[in-house]
Structure 1
Amino acid sequence: MMSASAATNLFAFPYHNCRNISSPEDQSAGRKVYSGTAPARSVLELDDNENVREYLVEAKGKQKKTPTLVHQAIRKTLEANTELFSILNGGIVIVARDAEVDDKVKQMTLLKPSIINGSQTQGELRRFFAKTFNADYIEPSIRFEIIVTDDDDLIADISIARNFQNDVRALSIAGRRGQLDELEAHMRTKFPGVELQKSESDQNDTGGSLDTEKLIQVTFALLPAEMMKKFGAQADPENKVFSYSQKTRCLKLFQRLVDDQENQDVYKCFLDVAPLAWELYAKWKVHQGFVGTGIRSIEREGRQIKEVPDGLIFPIIAANSVFIKYNGLRWQLQPPKVLTDDELIRAADQAYKEMADHNPQTMGKSKACYSHILQVTSIFARLAG
């Protein structure tokens, strides 16, 4: 019996039929697994907070995604073959902390349930019932699998594993595993209240959440060479081209850092550097010092610099890595006062025009361009002692 204190987290789940299909391994671990079919209405109000992705057509933010072929196929089945929906659709996987089955009334009582695979199906069902379903339709049934466990780590692993066939982005996996939580906390030391994007659904958010993948890229660009060498990131520590051109690799390297117990000092450095890197990126993204350079790829409003391409910015950020120093408590950015932004702009302007053929993407991927600006900052670093 569930405790009275759990009542507010209970969910009534009517079904047509339900079987306990728990394996011996499930039983020995204290898990239960149920399978069956249910009226489609049974899943409309379920949460999907444990899932690595929500219904993408109506994800966070005002900018809605265009329905994919998957969404269109579900709609076609619901509208043209309603009676076949339960066998043409893959169904929904649900996780719950506890469950009671009452086969007399054909209803399960679930404690804190969540969809972990099937948010797109649920979203299309909601759309169907709200906009299309009427008396002429037979209410569709849906197949379900319910996994009952109170193991939070296992729930996260199940959610990730059950979604791999849908090409879940690495960002969603990192977010679901909690690998971005410390990074977000460190960002809030300089940017109070900031929220990182932790799933592909968050990337539709127009409310100001921070681009996590970009943050990780610029942090690797600013990470000092000594930390890159120690981490053994399979890259020339003086060559930060990968930070601009290999977004997915940067995220995977970061995930490695989080889990690498032998290099926690590198991870600590990364966390300290991240707010500094983002502040530097934001500064150079709209740096008015580029006025008068004649760089055509810079977006302007009149004479005002509106946006500088990342290809110009990343070599500048990477060149500043020589000024990342440890003060005994934390890593800080300590450029010498005699080095002005004008010096870096001149070096970037020269690299852009003479080495990158006026192409910001070429500059962002050119080791020569990074080395050219790094030579400037290295001279000032040596003079500063």
Structure 2
Amino acid sequence: MLKKTKSTYDFAFSTCRNISCPDDDSAQRKVYSGHAPITSVLGLNDHENVREYLVEARGKQKHSPTLVHQAIRKTLKDHPEQFSVLNGGMVIVAHSAELDDKTKILHLNNPSIINGSQTQGELKRYVSEYGSDLDFTPNIKYEIIVTTDEDLIAEISIARNFQNDVRAISIAGRRGQLDQLEIEMQKHDSKIKLRKSETDLTQDDEFLDTEKLIQVIFALLPEEILAKLNIIDPSNKVFAYSQKTRCLKLYQKIVEDESPEIYNCCLQIAPHAWNLYKKWKSHPEFKGTRLRSITRDEGSIIDVPDGIVFPIIAAYSAFVRRTSNGWKIQQPKHLTDKELINSAAQAYMEIAGHNPQTMGKSKACYSSLYTITSIYAKLEKK
């Protein structure tokens, strides 16, 4: 079985072959493959994987078992002797490995599952349920990649998980593309932790909704910055509301392209964008507007739909300025929140037909609010 001694694990195997190719040898890495008793993988860490066991993500909220989970359970229960050929197996990375053929043990340094967390979760469940009553201990196929190249480990983890429909947030998080954004947010609130994986849950407020944050960043970006991203119509912010995945992929592209002007603008306006989002989601001056889609409780504003909030945030982009201290929002003193609310309510009723989703997807609604803020912005310059 698997035994932990500091950062070294003794991985007991049934069969093991060194299948390293010349490419591996030249890159100073090794690849081992074979079969091992399922008990050998139960204690493995999965810190390098793009996501953990989904049924018990972070042990807080249980997700319903998928068809994959159900299939693994059925095989283990009904045909455990077929598990080694029916299951896709497990991919493991380690920084170093020492093979002992006599004892049939691989001594692994700092190992981690990078593909197979769902299988491991189901195996733990199976062993926990049957325990000492197991009449037969199945084997599992494994592949162990030995390398100290952290960037390669990240890319292997992503590539080996594509067949399981890994969400873009997990890929961005695993590549470290959200780390600097988190640091920038923590400058304004040290308690903030960004969601960097689909298994990081936002319901209990431990993690901030990173995808939503990136959406509001794009809503607030000034046209001059959006134009540099080769967006066909930089004045049209509808995509910020309606295309969450596109926003995340655009942000990933900004990080990968290493464009300091665009990237710094995104980072520096991020806290402002999020504060605007939180402010307008429950702005008390929506009281009395009689907008039916707003959630109220004893007269208090509980939730304003995103379809109304996003055009308002986009209107603030008229006030985003590059200063000697970075990108800031410089809102004119004479523009009141009440005026913006009245304009938003008018667009909601006359353009969007009292439908917040229509408002969020209507360029005309964004334009009507931006026209007002741009007028104030021009007057402020004079």
TM-score, structure 1 as length reference: 0.96
Matched, 1:252 2:249: yes
Residue in structure 2 matched with residue 3 of structure 1 by the alignment: none
Which residue of structure 2 lines up, in the alignment, with residue 302 of structure 1? 298
1:323 counterpart residue number? 319
Question: What RMSD, in angstroms, separates the aligned Cα atoms of the two structures?
Answer: 1.3
- Hey, what does 1:51 align to over in structure 2? 49
Question: Cα–Cα, structure 1 residues 337 and 65, in superposed 2: closer, same or farther, change >3 Å?
Answer: same
Q: Distance in 2 between matches of 1:62 and 1:20?
A: 40
Report 1:141-160 matches (<5 A): 141-160=139-158
Q: Which segment drifts farther, 136-145 or 244-253?
A: 136-145
Deviations 1:333-383 (A, max 9, x none): 110111100010000000101110111000000000000111111111111
Letter in 1 for 2:6: T
CA distance in 2, matches of 1:204, 1:22: 42
Q: How does 1:67-82 map to 2 (within 5 A)?
A: 67-82=65-80
- Specify the alignment match of 2:279 in structure 1: 283
8 Å CA contact 1:71–1:120 kept in 2: the answer is yes
- 2:352 corresponds in structure 1 to 356
Given that 1:59 and 1:205 are in contact with CA atoms closer than 8 Å, whether structure 2 keeps it comes out as no
1:114 alignment partner in structure 2: 112
Matched-pair identity in %? 60
Secondary structure at 2:61's aligned position in 1?
coil
Distance 2:302 2:128 in 1: 43
1:136 shift after superposition: 4.7
State the alpha-carbon separation in 1 of the partners of residues 118 and 223 from structure 2. 44
Return the offset for 1:205. Answer: 6.1
Cα separation, 2, equivalents of 1:204 and 1:267: 25
Indicate conservation of the 8 Å contact 2:90/2:116, yes or no. yes
**What are the superposed Cα offsets for residues 78-99 of structure 1, whole Å, 9 maximum, x if unpaired?**
1111111111100100000000
Gaps of 5+ in 1: 1-5
Gap change, CA 1:207 and 1:244, over 3 Å in 2 = closer
Residue 327 (structure 1) shift: 1.3
Map of 1:340 onto structure 2: 336
SS at match of 2:31: strand
Residue 161 of structure 2: SS of its match in structure 1? helix
How far does residue 133 in structure 1 lie from its aligned partner after superposition? 4.1
Asked if 1:384 corresponds to 2:375, the answer is no
Match of 2:28 among 7, 21, 30: 30
Partner of residue 125, structure 1:
123
Relative to structure 2, which stretch is displaced further, 7-16 or 66-75? 7-16
Is 1:223 aligned to 2:221, yes or no? yes
Distance 2:59 2:232 in 1: 37
TM-score by length of 2: 0.97
Residue of structure 1 equivalent to 2:92: 94
Is residue 37–residue 141 contact of structure 1 (8 Å, CA) maintained in 2? Answer: yes
Runs of 4+ aligned structure 1 residues displaced above 4 Å come to none
CA contact (8 A) 1:59 1:204 kept: no
Cα deviation, residue 61, structure 1: 5.6
